[in-house]
Amino acid sequence: MKTPTNPSKNTTQGRRQALKSIGLTGAALMLAPQIIVGKTLAPYKISIRSAKVYHQGKIEALCVGITHDNKLKLSPSNLEADKIIDATGKIISPGFIDILADNAGSPETTYKIFEKYKLADGASTVLQMHGGAASPASYHQKFDSKPHYVNYGVGVFVMVLRNQYANLATRYKLTEKGLEEGGLGVCHSIEYQPTPYEELLGYAKIAAKYDRPYFLHLRYSSPDKELEGVKEAIKLAQDSGARIHIDHLHSTGGTHNMSQALELIQNANNFGSKITTCVYPYSYWATYLVSKRFDPGWQQRFGLTYEDLTIVGTGQKITAQNFPFYRQQYGVLVAVPPGTMPFEKTINLALQTDFCMIGSDGGIERDAKANNHPRGAGCFATAIRHGMDIGMSLEKVLSKVTTLPAKLMRGAMNLRGEIADDYIADLTIFDPKTIAGKASVANPNQFSEGIDTVIVNGEIVYQDNKLLKTNGKPIRY
């Protein structure tokens, strides 16, 4: 005969068993991978293994993880992730930062072409500080709703304000308004648009008030006067307290007197000034024939002839006969011969200093036969290759395309420009043996070699010479 069951006792035991089961399940959920709608996620979204990592100024063997909220994590051992990238033989760097990009011509229609070639050169952040926008607010209103391959931002473009407004007080007011709107700095090119010193000082004081850099294309390029331009920039820094950045010193300010220019800047910095500069890794410059650089007397100033000028993207030579015609055509960019700015006398000297970084001063604006300097597509791969070829450590070269630009743009670039725990995941993976720029005067439209992968804000946007998605974000204050 069966023993009668006790309903009350069974109910109590059932409740205890259910609570015990719930407790075990809860503990298991705390220890197990996250479960979302039936999909199990590993602790990290991406794990990059078997590479060397540029970290705190050194090249180290580390695993780099990207969290599900697109932040970085470093580990001496492998991290488990949904996606594993085997980067054997590669270098993991912060995404390269171009502080001196230029996409002045019809950006609404050309910006994705412009960004594509930057991305393929390893750049994850592209800032237009050799131009920019008269109104950063209007720029961002127009562009922030569009898809971007890279992070992007602009400074306040003084040249446009000066063209639009005759009243100096209005120019100053709109410059300050541009910084209030999130502009990354003040940008002016006084060789192309000569401006009185007192007016320059006003812009510098506005930049200092907001602790933004003042990007300056110097006044002179000739052998006998270029150092006067460097001294003027130093005086601006001293008189205003602004952080002055001298654009491409090797082509404007130090072409013929680089060692003296660098000494002047270093001495000024030793006494409290805050002056930086940049170079691009090419021994020739290029600019538009309509610019003031080609005002009468240019042959004597630069030691060049008509036949030394080549229209970029076509290979066509300028002659005495066609010069007047092309001089009247807006947007015809010509390059001077290689060696016009000898590496050993200009760029190589500047790269040895701690205040010089890399800036492209360029951008590709058309998808075929672009009339743009090759630096618009190959600046960073070329710079890394060149630096290593002349005996610079890879660590020092990488500082000039990552940490130094990020520090210059401080505030706007917080948590970017370094590989560190909880920093935003902007990364470039490249092969140090094969990295090189391929763009040339005859054909600027070429992707760089050796750029394996570019990650922007935690997403793989470029890999194996293919653009995979857009994930760029605005950079602004």
pLDDT tens digits, one per residue of 44-61: 999 999 999 999 999 999
> Are residues 367 and 245 located together in one domain of the fold?
yes
Q: Is the pLDDT of residue 28 over 50?
A: no
Give the other-Cβ count within 10 Å of 194's Cβ: 9
Q: What is the pLDDT of residue 105?
A: 73
Residues forming beta bridges with residue 454, ordered by sequence position: 428, 462
- Looking at the fold, whether 324 and 396 belong to one and the same domain comes out as no
323 with 440, same domain: the answer is no
% of the chain residues with pLDDT over 70:
92
Identify whether residues 141 and 190 lie together within a single domain.
yes
Mark whether 148 and 246 lie in a shared domain: yes
Are residues 381 and 239 both part of a single domain?
Answer: yes
User: What are the tens digits of pLDDT across the range 1-22?
Assistant: 333 444 444 444 444 454 344 4
| Residue 77 lies inside a defined structural domain of this protein | no
Write down the pLDDT at residue 38: 41
Q: Are residues 198 and 279 in the same domain?
A: yes
- Identify whether 58 is part of a domain: no
Report d(CA 437, CA 297) in Å as an integer: 34
Which tokens hold the place of 84? 């594993």
- Per-residue pLDDT of 119-175, as tens digits, reads 999 999 999 999 999 999 999 999 999 999 999 999 999 999 999 999 999 999 999
371 part of a folded domain: yes
Looking at the fold, whether 246 and 369 belong to one and the same domain comes out as yes
Q: Is residue 141 part of a domain?
A: yes
Residue 200 in domain: yes
Instruction: Specify the pLDDT at position 29.
Output: 36
Q: Where are the beta strands (DSSP E) in 150-200?
A: 151-157, 186-189
Q: Does the residue 72 lie in any domain?
A: no
What does the block give as tokens for 27?
Answer: 């503990």
Given 300, 316, 335, the domain boundary residue is 335
Specify the CATH number for the domain of residue 396: 3.20.20.140
pLDDT at 36: 42
| Structural domains counted in the chain | 2
Binned at pLDDT 50, 70 and 90, residue 40 comes out as low
pTM of the model: 0.89
Residue 382 covered by a domain? yes
Which one, of 290, 270, 462, 261, lies nearest residue 380 by Cα? 462
Residue 327 shares a structural domain with residue 340? no
Over residues 240-265, the mean pLDDT reads 97
pLDDT tens across 257-291, in order? 999 999 999 999 999 999 999 999 999 988 889 98
pLDDT at 444 over 90: yes
What is the per-residue burial (b if ≥16 Cβ within 10 Å, else e) of 396-434?
ebbbbbbbbbbebbeebbeebbbbeeebbbbbbbbebee
Residue 372 has pLDDT above 70, yes or no: yes
* Domain that residue 439 falls in: 93-285+336-467
The verdict on 297 and 191 lying in the same domain is no
Mean predicted confidence (pLDDT) in 64-85? 98
Over the chain, what is the mean pLDDT? 92
In a domain, 420, yes or no: yes
123/402 Cα distance (integer angstroms): 10
Q: Which of 319, 335, 351 is the last residue of a domain?
A: 335
d(CA 451, CA 428): 7
- The per-residue pLDDT for 12 is 44
Last residue of a domain, one of 301, 335, 369: 335
pLDDT one-digit tens code per residue, 349-363: 999 999 999 999 999
Q: Does the pLDDT value for residue 448 go beyond 60?
A: yes
Tell me: do 318 and 353 sit in the same domain.
no
- Examine the domain organization and report whether 232 and 368 are in the same domain: yes
pLDDT tens track for 383-408: 999 999 999 999 999 999 999 999 99
Q: pLDDT value at position 18?
A: 43
